[in-house]
Amino acid sequence: MLKALEENTKYQQFTGKDKQLLERFLAPDGAALQIIINAPEFTCLCPKTGQPDFGTIVIDYRPGDWCVESKSLKLYLMSFRMEGSFHEECVYTIGTALVELLHPHALSVEGLFGARGGIAFHPTYRYVRS
């Protein structure tokens, strides 16, 4: 059962990232899919200054048996809002959580973060099933 799709979702103030929010559903049988998800309103906190960082998270994957449920993904990404993490750590954490949940054929997560101190970071996590 997909809990995130319940009619009365209560949005809450998250205190840190929570991969338990992620849910999945069976991918279509025999489908050769590539799924690209663009989340342009990602926020987290700088772990040193506490100032907010803003970015776009782009997830690109070829599902195995599972697809990520979009509302649960939105809630998961929202759970980073009060998390003090470097950009690289955010992207790595999202990527490894999705690999654990979905067991995809391939997956990449790219973080397109706004400039801070005149430098923009775009870390990318890549996974290919062996």
pLDDT at 8: 66
Per-residue tokens: 25:
């559903």
pLDDT tens sequence across 32-51: 899 999 999 999 999 999 99
Rounded to 10 deg, the angle between the 87-102 and 70-78 helix axes is 150
Rounded to an integer, the average pLDDT of 49-74 is 95
CA–CA gap between residue 53 and residue 127 (Å, rounded): 25
Q: Structurally, what CATH architecture does the domain formed by 17-128 represent?
A: 2-Layer Sandwich (3.30)
Q: Over pLDDT 70: what percentage of the chain?
A: 90
pLDDT at 33: 92
Prediction pTM value: 0.90
Domain residue limits, the chain? 17-128
DSSP codes joined into one string, 16-78: S--GGG--EEEPPTT----EEEEEEEEEEE-TTT--EEEEEEEEEEE-SSEEE-HHHHHHHHH
Provide the annotated active-site residues. 46, 53
